[in-house]
Structure 1
C-alpha cells in the first residue's frame, strides 16, 4: 500500500503549505494523514507517453479498456482538454494507479498555467464545455497538481474489484500445447 513514513512526511508538507496560507487543520475539516495515505507512492500500473492529437485519444481509450468505460471516458476527456486548451501535438503523459476498488488517473501536460475550469452552465447549442462536468460526475474526487514546468489533472474513480478466476477446489480449463482444451488442476 503505502509507506507510513512517507505519509508522515506528506502530512508535514501539507500542514506547512497550508499554514503558509493561514489555514490550520481544524479549519480544514479533513483528515490530513488519510489524504496523504491516498496519494500514490508506488509506480503507476500504466504510463502512456504521447503527443496530444485527436488520433491518440482512441489509442488511450484502447489502452485503458481493462480499467472500464468510466476510466476510458475520463482519460479521453482530459486528453481532449489538453488538445483544446494547451495545443495539439504537445507531449502528454497518462498514468493509472489501481488500489483495490479505486483507480487514480493522471494526465500531465507541459503548461502549468492552463488550469481546468468546471463550467456549471453550458448552452444547449454549445459544442464544448461538458468534459469536466462529465469527469466531475463520474469521479469520487479530482484536482490539479502544479509543478514548475507542468501540471497534472487527476481524478479518482470507484471501479469494481475484478474477481479472481482461481477458486479452490475447482478445476480450470486451459488450452493445451496443441490448442485443444484440457482440464488442469
Structure 2
C-alpha cells in the first residue's frame, strides 16, 4: 500500500528531526520505504510496524516488523534492471552499515543500521 510507505517515511522523518539528524533523513526514508514495500509485497501481513531507534551514537536502526517468518535474501544473480522491482534489498545493503533479520515466534523484524554523525 502506498499509504503505508508514506506513513513510515513520515515517522522516520519526525524521529530523525527530533534527534537533530536531518542530514540522514533522505537515506532513512529510502530504507524504510524499501522495507515497507518488501513487507507489503512479500508477506500476507495485514499489519506492519515501523521502528526507528538510536541504539548507538553513530547508528540509527530502521526496522519493519511483520507476521511472516520468511527471511529475506539478497538476489545478486538477478541483474534484469528492466523489472520494476526486485532491487530493494540491494539498495538497503548499499545504504546501510549493516542490515539483518530478527526472528520472533510470531514473525520477524527486518532492519537496517544507518551510519549517522554523533551529536556533540
Q: Same fold (TM over 0.5)?
A: yes
- What CA distance in whole angstroms lies between the structure 2 residues aligned with 1:56 and 1:143? 21
Residue from 21, 26, 37 that aligns with 1:80: 37
Secondary structure class of the residue paired with 2:48 = strand
Residues 85-142 of structure 1, C-alpha deviations (whole Å, 9 max, x = no match)? 013x611111111132210112110011x22121113202111111000000011111
Of residues 118-127 and 70-79 in structure 1, the stretch that sits farther from structure 2 once superposed is 118-127
Residue from 20, 25, 28 that aligns with 1:71: 28
Secondary structure class of the residue paired with 1:91 = coil
Residue from 51, 71, 83 that aligns with 1:115: 71
Q: Which is bigger in relative contact order (C-alpha 8 A, separation at least 6)?
A: 2
Residue from 62, 66, 78 that aligns with 1:105: 62
What root-mean-square deviation, in Å, do the aligned CA atoms of Structure 1 and Structure 2 show?
1.6
Give the equivalent residue in structure 1 for 2:50: 94
Residues 27-67 of structure 1, C-alpha deviations (whole Å, 9 max, x = no match)? xxxxxxxxxxxxxxxxxxxxxxxxxx221211211221253
Q: How far has the Cα of 1:162 moved from its partner? A: 4.6
- 8 Å Cα contact 1:81/1:131 also seen in 2: yes
Residue from 84, 106, 117 that aligns with 1:149: 106
- What CA distance in whole angstroms lies between the structure 1 residues aligned with 2:109 and 2:11? 19
Q: How far has the Cα of 1:160 moved from its partner? A: 2.4
- What CA distance in whole angstroms lies between the structure 2 residues aligned with 1:79 and 1:61? 10
Give the equivalent residue in structure 2 for 1:58: 6
Unaligned 5+ segments in structure 1 are 1-52, 164-185
Paired residues, what number? 109
Secondary structure class of the residue paired with 1:128 = coil
Residue from 72, 81, 97 that aligns with 1:124: 81
